[in-house]
Amino acid sequence: MHGFAYQNGSLHCEGIDLQSLAEEHGTPLYVYSAGTIRDHFTRLDQAMTGVDHEVAYAVKANSNLSVLRLLAGLDAGFDIVSGGELFRVIEAGGNPAKCTFAGVGKTRDEIEYALKQGIYSFNVESEEELRYLNTVAAELDLVAPAAVRVNPNVDAKTHKYISTGKSENKFGVDFEAIEDLYARAAAELPHVKLRGLQMHIGSQLTSIQPFVEAVEKVTPLVLTLKAKHGIEFWSIGGGIGIVYHDSLAAGSIDWWDAKSEQDRPLTLTQYGATLVPRLKDLGLKILLEPGRAIVGNAGVLLTRCLYEKQGTAKTFKIVDAGMNDLIRPALYEGHHEIVPLKEPAGERKLVDVVGPICESGDFFCQNRELPDFQPGDTIALMSSGAYGFVMASNYNTRPLPAEILVDGTTAQVVRKRQTLEDIIAAER
């Protein structure tokens, strides 16, 4: 559920009319719902009641300082994948001792920075990285807390670009090699403390079964590592999916109630209810690393229709946002529901919604039946709170959009719109 709905014929974010934000701040424009972020974090945290756990937000999903500050205020942990993300967390008031550092290519500078800041654990992706971590920590006369990422070879049945838990993916160490690696590390790497084990099988999972399969497969390994090496935590990763196709309707409890048990997407409550019984007796702290599940449906991208181009084969609605602003459709066929800010009542038309970028891949949908919005109208690309602004670029020398955080009836600019002068400032 989320904070976006039509009120009196106009799409609102919580108590704010989105059309008023578009008129005041221009488009393209990202808008986030603070209430939705709080609600999703709290729901997941409560769903894991009965297990010693921590919800460590995946910063890569949306790293705006105000979003991080909001989550730090909820006592969130943070899953980071770069030194820059750690810097952001600290700037936002987050506790580095509640940060885990993942990623296959950590540099020396990043490792040193994270060690000096006192992070909770490095999530290590290879034996080579573990040995390098030991070397850097030794030179600083420190001990590096670490967990190796196990690849359980579980098929998450998601898009190939966001699947991470199979043997052919670049992430993690093969399941069969983990025990020997921990034994070698314990014997040979005195400046590494093996604090836990980590796994993550992929993103945008809307079924509980892959999570169950991975947890049940890895549990015996976790218990062995606990007995032999005294590990204290198991990070079971993130990956909980969100509703993209019916995003606006899914903001209502009625939409969920109308779904049969088989057709209802995975909920945070179901996730907890299914996994807690399998985790509660392990005697370990369980870390979760959600990103999209917290912020995905908490954001929209507003864009204005510039032109309608009618060709012999297609009708194109040309908008002022481009793939540089939201790359998910072009990058991995990501679907975003598209709705006009003015509640539609009439004709629908089969169209492509495309941006101004000089690339054929610059589209937000193709051959989709949509309300027949017109040039000058503003539309919302729903479910844009995760992997939206964070993946934006200046391609075609286009300034980055502004970002707005709505909290009830208050709307705050949390990132100013970039100017052309901003873009070229470092090149002068």
Based on the number of CB atoms within 10 Å of its own CB, is 373 exposed (0-12), middle (13-18) or buried (19 or more)? buried
Q: 4-30+297-427 with 34-294: one CATH topology? A: no
Q: Which residues are annotated as a binding site for pyridoxal 5'-phosphate?
A: 239, 289-292, 387
Binding residues: 239, 289-292, 328, 332, 359, 387
CA dihedral 96, 97, 99, 101 (to 10 degrees): 90
Show me where the domains of the chain are located.
4-30+297-427, 34-294
Reported in sequence order, the residue ranges of 64-191 that DSSP labels E, i.e. its strands, are 77-80, 99-101, 121-124, 144-151, 173-174
pLDDT at 171: 73
13 catalytically annotated? no
Of 70, 75, 31, 27, which is closest to residue 54 (Cα–Cα)? 75
pLDDT of residue 62: 98
Facing residues of 17 across strands?
A: 12
**388 class by beta-carbon count within 10 Å (0-12 exposed, 13-18 middle, 19+ buried):** buried
Q: Which CATH superfamily is domain 4-30+297-427 in?
A: Lyase, Ornithine Decarboxylase; Chain A, domain 1 (2.40.37.10)
Strands 53-58, 77-80: pairing is: parallel
Residues 6+ apart with CB under 8 A from 24: none
Q: Considering 99, 305, 358, 365, which one is annotated as catalytic?
A: 358
DSSP structure class, residue 395: G
- For residue 297, give the nearest of 224, 211, 387, 361 by alpha carbon: 387
pLDDT at 159: 45
Q: How much is the pTM?
A: 0.94
In one-letter notation, the amino acid at residue 106 is K
Q: Is 330:34 a contact under the CB 8 Å cutoff?
A: no
Query: Domain 34-294 is of which CATH architecture?
Result: Alpha-Beta Barrel (3.20)
pLDDT at 332: 87
Binding-site positions for substrate: 292, 328, 332, 359, 387
pLDDT tens sequence for the chain (428 residues): 899 999 999 999 999 999 999 999 999 999 999 999 999 999 999 999 999 999 999 999 999 999 999 999 999 999 999 999 999 999 999 999 999 999 999 999 999 999 999 999 999 999 999 999 999 999 999 999 999 999 988 866 554 544 444 455 567 899 999 999 999 999 999 999 999 999 998 889 989 999 999 999 999 999 999 999 999 999 999 999 999 999 999 999 999 999 888 888 899 999 999 999 999 999 999 999 999 999 999 999 999 999 999 988 899 999 999 999 999 999 988 999 999 999 998 889 999 999 999 999 999 999 999 999 999 999 999 999 999 999 999 999 999 999 999 999 999 999 999 999 999 999 99
What angle in degrees, to the nearest 10, is found between the helix axes of 108-117 and 127-139?
Answer: 60
Predicted pLDDT of residue 163: 46
Q: What is the pLDDT of residue 167?
A: 52
Q: 239: closest CA among 165, 311, 144? A: 165
Q: Which amino acid appears at position 184 of this protein? A: R
